[in-house]
Amino acid sequence: MSKLFRFGVSLDKDLLDKFDRLIRVKNYPNRSEAFRDLIRQELVKKQWEDDKEIAGAIILIYDHHRRKLINKLTDIQHDFQKMIISTQHIHLDHNNCLEIIAVKGNPKEAQKLTDTLKSVKGVKHGTLSMSSTGKEIE
Ligand code: NI
């Protein structure tokens, strides 16, 4: 970790009160940790915007009984095999499957993979959690 710096932040009282309420609800131990998290959030956002190497997770919910759909989802994942680092399949109940696809690589490719999977008929819900490889956000 690099050297720790302290700096002052001037805030409107109302805004500070709102921030303090927020960090209590979110269980941050103090303002500094909450502030660091907000900064990292923005840095990760910028990594996605700037086409840097990213990591993330795609979550899909789909109908277990549609066999063609499962084959199609597998075909798509083979086409994007270079960026998929892990896939986890969970049988949610008799009818529904949840799949978590961990990805690492180019943000546009991650978005394209998500959109392609989501658009397959029978996928009930799909979402992309945009995160970071952890580099350059310390
Ligand atoms: Ni299943």
Query: What are the pLDDT digits (tens) for 13-70?
Result: 999 999 999 999 999 999 999 999 999 999 999 999 999 999 999 999 999 998 899 9
- Cα torsion 22, 24, 29, 32 to 10°: value is 30
C-beta separation of 59 from 123 below 8 A? no
Could you tell me the distance, in angstroms and rounded to a whole number, from the CA of residue 97 to the centre of ligand 1?
A: 4
- Whether residues 108 and 92 share a domain: the answer is yes
Task: Read off the pLDDT of each residue in 113-132 and give the average, rounded to a whole number.
Answer: 97
CA of 115 to the centre of ligand 1 (A): 21
Question: Is 111 in the same domain as 43?
Answer: no
Band of the pLDDT at 2, cuts 50, 70, 90?
A: confident
Nearest to 69 by CA among 95, 102, 93: 95
Gap between the Cα atoms of 80 and 112, Å rounded? 10
Same structural domain for residues 61 and 17? no
d(CA 134, ligand 1 centre) in Å:
31
In the reported structure, the alpha carbon of residue 109 is separated from the centroid of ligand 1 by a whole-number distance in angstroms of 26
Residue 59 in tokens: 């979550």
Same domain, 77 and 128: yes
Residue 84 pLDDT grade (very low, low, confident, very high; cuts 50, 70, 90) = very high
Judge residue 98's burial from the number of C-beta atoms within 10 Å of its C-beta, 0-12 exposed, 13-18 middle, 19 or more buried: middle
pTM: 0.87
Residues 60 and 122 in one domain: yes
Q: How many domains is the chain built from?
A: 2
Domain that holds residue 35: 13-49
Contact between 101 and 84 (Cβ < 8 Å): yes
pLDDT at position 98 is: 98
Neighbours of ion ligand 1 (CB under 5 A): 64, 91, 97
Q: Alpha helices of the chain — where are they, by DSSP H? A: 13-25, 31-49, 67-79, 107-118
Residue 4 lies in a domain: no
Which token pair is 67? 């066999």
**Residue 104's pLDDT band (boundaries 50, 70, 90)?**
very high
List Cβ neighbours of 48 (8 Å cut-off, separation of 6 or more).
Answer: 54, 107, 130
Q: Are residues 29 and 72 in the same domain?
A: no
Is the domain of 60 the same as that of 93? Answer: yes
Same domain, 41 and 66: no
What is the CA(116)–ligand 1 centre distance, in A?
A: 20
* 2 falls within a domain: no
33 and 80 both lie in a single domain: no
93 and 65 assigned to the same domain: yes
Residue 1 pLDDT greater than 70, yes or no: no
Assess whether 58 and 105 both reside in one domain.
yes
Measured in Å, residue 127 CA sits from the centre of ligand 1 at: 18
